[in-house]
Structure 1
Amino acid sequence: MTDIANAQRFLMAEARLLERRLYQVCFSNGGAEAVIDAVRAYRNPDGGFGHGLEPDKRTPDSLPIDVETAFQALAAAGAADPALLGPACDFLARVADERGAVPLAFPVIEAYPRAGHWSEWTYEPGLNPTAGLVGLLYRLGFAHPWRERAAGYCWDRLEAGALPEEVHALAETLVFLEYAPDRDRAERHAAAVLERLVASEMFHLDPAASGYGLSPLVVAPAAGSRWRRLFTAEQLDGHLDRLAADQQPDGGWPITWEPPGVAARQEWRGIVTLQALRTLRSYGRA
């Protein structure tokens, strides 16, 4: 049984302001404007976001991964704020390649503490994070010329059958397909993307798997997720049981990778704790 009171205590004691405000929006009828204010604190003059909004690298400079984290927070709060989204898309347009694709990060991260897996591979433009960013903009209902250019890149990759092997890129592609307005086209590609995702060693279809990996609850984090139907009830129930059982004595959930420091670890634990509560509640487990 999930200990909601202990999880709330953990968030209030350990999580950063953004996750505390998101908790209030998601669980206590808090106002979305408070989330917008918290996200705004991570914005740079170039319109992008940085300052460790995604906690695995501590550079203050704007990075596409931090823009994606900002979009995720705004989407969770139901807050499509044009004053944040417009300049952020302008930033993405400036750093995109000729196809409209953006990388996760830039070499500037090397001057600051960062998790060990943040290295040269994050400098290559690709579906991770381009597809996820476009999908979130569709979810937020925010149109921008960069969104249309980047969507064209995503469709070109899919139509060419150029699916990535990397598990996060495939998950990002499913975000794009979940919210893309061309539903017939999206549905045609979803099964192939999921098939490639499930075949990855870093995708844990078995809820008993240990170590870092993505699960069906990443693809379908809420009961109303479009891709919930791609998994059996038994598969989802097993992962929901595992998620509930992973709650720690302090009320929070653990992480399974090594962040760049103690503060980053606690920030991540706040993020994953809030997501665990949202998922468990959505599926009727909390």
Structure 2
Amino acid sequence: MNFEKAANFIWNNGRLLERRIFEYIFQGGSKNNILNAIEAYQNDDGGFGNAIEPDLRTPDSQPLYMEFALKTLYDCNIKDTEISQKACDYVSYHADLNTGIPTIYPLSVNYPRAQHWNNPLSIEPSFSRLTGLVGLLKWQGIKHPWLDKATEVCLNDISSKVYDDAHTILTAFCLLESLPQTDYVKGLFDKLSKELFEARFFQLDATSRSYGLSPLEFSPSPTSYCRSLFSNITVQDHLKVLEFQQDEDGGWQIEWEPPSEMAKLEWRACKTLKSLMILNSYKMIKY
């Protein structure tokens, strides 16, 4: 793995957000610079817009964007009360505790987007999407009058339904991680763990090149909440493959088609940064 080429790929193609995160992780940069970059995507309504998730190019706030922003803070282990309070205000206003929250809103059709966001289910309320947002907000440690009730409702949803999508399970684990590890929470952890290995878009096979979430998405560091789910051999196999997947230009490729060449480069910079962060956390990078 060539760290310098990967770094150059991020400098050439990454947005300010990815460059700030790279500085923070690898060059002693400022956490506040990351927060400033994230806030640039936050709209007056507390939601996030402006293509922070590069596959959708609308400036308007979308639950999809909210999840991307909060997951970015989670991946960087950054908690910020001001950003997350505004975010929680947005989610509490738009969510329905009986039906959930859509991934994207219908008017987003007026802007360029990747083909997979043309799925009509994307605009339907989703409880699993809400569970992920509540989990990421709860992880922030904020106090909000809506959040405790939402947490209770989402835990009931995890308990009573089968979660069959690896993306949903990933953020549901964030909710469990944010709570006291009672027998009840540990039981839900065991339930989600079993569902993960049968879930769509979960790639246990390290040699698979199709789109999906590998064990490294769930255990990006040796201290991750979900690290116990995977054997050392499984993690090492995926780390070796991840290292090998670096492209000649220094970046990592993606397995789907974004709406434009710019969006593709933005996504590749995101994936390159995440790959470096994972390899670094497992002490596989020298720089």
Fold shared, TM-score > 0.5 on shorter chain? yes
Which one-letter code corresponds to 1:106 in the other structure?
Y
Number of the residue aligned with 2:225: 226
What is the match of residue 155 of structure 1?
155
User: What is residue 145 of structure 1 aligned with on the other side?
Assistant: 145
Looking at structure 2, the residues matched to 182 and 106 of structure 1 have their Cα atoms a distance apart, in angstroms, of 35
Deviation at 1:24, TM superposition (A): 0.8
Q: Give unpaired runs (5+ residues) of structure 2.
A: none
Aligned equivalents of 2:92 and 2:261: distance in 1?
34
* Identity between Structure 1 and Structure 2 (%): 36
Looking at structure 1, the residues matched to 192 and 22 of structure 2 have their Cα atoms a distance apart, in angstroms, of 32
Give the 3-state SS of the residue equivalent to 1:60 in structure 2. Answer: coil
Q: Secondary structure of the equivalent of 1:192?
A: helix
Aligned amino acid, residue 113 of structure 2: R
SS of match in other structure, 1:226 = coil
Listed as ranges, the matches of 1:1-286 within 5 Å are 2-99=1-98, 101-118=100-117, 119-160=119-160, 162-286=161-285
1:197-256, CA deviations, whole angstroms, 9 ceiling, x for partnerless residues?
Answer: 211342111101121011111111111102111111111111111110111111111110
DSSP 3-state at the match of 2:265: helix
> CA separation of 1:32/1:76 partners in 2, compared to 1, >3 Å: closer, same or farther?
farther
Distance 2:196 2:124 in 1: 20
| Distance in 2, Cα, partners of 1:145 & 1:261 | 41
After the TM superposition, list the runs of 4 or more consecutive aligned residues in structure 1 that deviate by more than 6 angstroms: none
Supply the AA of the counterpart residue of 1:139. Answer: W
Paired residues, what number?
A: 284
TM-aligned CA deviation for residue 127 of structure 1 = 4.3
Which stretch shifts more, 123-132 or 66-75? 123-132
1:45 to 1:265, Cα distance in 2 relative to 1, 3 A: same
Over aligned residue pairs, what C-alpha RMSD do you find? 1.7
Q: Mind listing any 5+ residue stretches in structure 1 that lack a counterpart?
A: none
CA contact (8 A) 1:50 1:63 kept: yes
What whole-Å deviation, never above 9, does each CA across 1:56-82 have from its counterpart, x for those lacking one? Answer: 111111011211222223334444333
Greater CA deviation, 107-116 or 167-176? 167-176
Task: Give the letter for the 2:194 counterpart.
Answer: E
Q: Which AA in structure 1 matches 2:187?
A: R
User: Take 2:148 and 2:198, find their aligned partners in 1: how far apart are those partners?
Assistant: 30
Query: What do residues 164-191 of structure 1 show as CA deviations (whole Å, max 9, x unaligned)?
Result: 3223212222222222234432211122
Contact conserved, 1:178 with 1:227, CA < 8 A, in 2? no
Length-normalised TM-score, structure 1: 0.93
Q: Residue type matched to 1:23 in 2? A: F
> Which sits farther off after the overlay, 201-210 or 9-18?
201-210
3-state SS of paired residue (1:117): helix
Separation of aligned partners in 2, 1:134 and 1:175: 9
